């Protein structure tokens, strides 16, 4: 519009849906603004005082009018609510079979870690037409991952994993911002999301990654930190068997149950005593301060990669 970029490009599967709701809201607001302003002017003219001594005739209530201006706005707001809730659920629930990428926010940069081992800073390469799920955390303060062209935005919190998903629909390069004030150079915490055709993406993936996959980096760390002395696949170790554990439900020594997810693995590494698996002693030392956020991601990915061994009963 006159060369002014009022709107970012719509480059994800949900962008047109977010825009549709947004335009509906604008439409409703414009309609009622005009209606109210019009009525105001009309009534001011029609019912103005015509002689200095004129006295108003008072007003009588009108039940149909009151019902109308209660029910119509209620209906409109319910449409907005249901529409918005539907969109919210779509945005906040990643579909199955996503391409997973880890993201770590830090003052003042975005770090991305692909499962194949590639790492990037302030650049994120993704294929077009594929559901991508970012598993994001922060290593210091609250940041906010924001790609206007995808209409996705999520606070990235220290000590937690949040997921953001999108399906890019157009190849190209799109701005990435931090949308939460996070210190002096917050405004410089920007980057690019580079959406590539699947074949180009494959070529890009195979281009670098001298260090091997994230899970293999985790495997190395797992033995470097001597985790493997207690977490043994043969159930003879002092810690729970990790093979096949991810995504399973475990019973804690308090009798509670929980599903093993990224957050639980992370907590078990940093605060092992917080939630002890039933039947085990709280003897694991903490690794707080000994492993970085990236190393945690590698360890989590390694635990995820451990498939259940057929002959072993996991506890
Ligand atoms: Cu990070 Cu603002």
Position 312 pLDDT exceeds 70: no
Indicate the SS3 state at residue 173.
Answer: strand
Q: Quick check: CB of 103 below 6 Å from ligand 1?
A: no
Q: Apex CA 119: angle with CA 117 and CA 304, to 5°? A: 45
DSSP string, 235-286: S-SSS---TTTTT-EEEBTTS-EEE--HHHHHHHHH-TTSSPBTT--S-PPP
Position 289 pLDDT exceeds 70: yes
d(CA 174, ligand 1 centre) in Å: 18
Angle, in degrees to the nearest 10, between helices 293-305 and 214-224: 100
Indicate the SS3 state at residue 5.
Answer: coil
Q: Which of 34-38, 44-48, 248-252 has the highest mean pLDDT?
A: 34-38
Cβ-proximal residues to 273 (8 Å cutoff; 6+ apart), any chain: 282, 284, 286
Do residues 16 and 151 make contact, with C-beta atoms less than 8 angstroms apart? no
pLDDT of residue 51: 85
d(CA 287, ligand 1 centre) in Å: 27
pLDDT of residue 222: 85
Rounded to 5 degrees, φ, ψ at 251 are -100, 130
267-289: average pLDDT: 83
User: Residue 208's pLDDT band (boundaries 50, 70, 90)?
Assistant: low
Would you give the DSSP letter of residue 37? H
User: Residue 138's pLDDT band (boundaries 50, 70, 90)?
Assistant: very high
Residue with the smallest CA separation from ligand 1 atom 1 is 143
Nearest-atom number in ligand 1 for the CA of 180 is 2
Which tens digits make up the pLDDT trace of 71-88?
999 999 999 999 999 999
pLDDT of residue 283: 81
Nearest-atom number in ligand 1 for the CA of 143 is 1
């Amino acid at each position: 519009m006159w060369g002014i970029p009022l709107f970012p490009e719509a480059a994800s599967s949900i962008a047109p849906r977010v825009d549709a709701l947004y335009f509906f809201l604008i439409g409703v607001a414009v309609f009622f603004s005009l209606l109210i302003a019009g009525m105001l002017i009309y009534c001011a003219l029609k019912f103005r005082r015509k002689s200095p001594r004129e006295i108003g005739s008072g007003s009588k209530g009108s039940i149909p009018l009151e019902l109308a201006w209660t029910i119509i706005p209620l209906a409109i707001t319910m449409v907005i609510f249901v529409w918005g809730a539907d969109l919210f659920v779509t945005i906040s629930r990643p579909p199955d079979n996503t391409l997973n990428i880890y993201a770590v926010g830090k003052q003042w940069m975005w770090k991305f870690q692909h499962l194949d081992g590639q790492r990037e800073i302030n650049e994120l390469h993704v294929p077009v037409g594929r559901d991508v799920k970012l598993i994001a955390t922060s290593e210091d303060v609250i940041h906010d991952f924001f790609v206007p062209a995808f209409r996705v935005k999520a606070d990235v919190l220290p000590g937690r994993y949040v997921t953001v998903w999108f399906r890019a629909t157009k190849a190209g390069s799109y701005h990435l911002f931090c949308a939460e004030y996070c210190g002096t150079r917050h405004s410089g915490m920007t980057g690019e999301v580079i959406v590539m055709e699947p074949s180009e993406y494959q070529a890009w993936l195979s281009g670098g990654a001298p260090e091997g996959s994230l899970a293999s980096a985790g495997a190395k760390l797992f033995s470097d930190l001597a985790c493997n002395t207690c977490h043994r696949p043969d159930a003879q170790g002092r810690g729970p068997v990790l093979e096949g554990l991810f995504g399973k439900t475990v019973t804690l020594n308090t009798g509670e149950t929980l599903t093993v997810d990224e957050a639980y693995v992370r907590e078990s590494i940093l605060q092992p005593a917080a939630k002890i698996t039933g039947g085990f002693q709280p003897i694991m030392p903490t690794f707080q301060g000994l492993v970085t956020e990236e190393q945690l991601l590698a360890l989590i990915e390694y635990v995820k990669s451990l498939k259940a061994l057929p002959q072993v009963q996991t506890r």
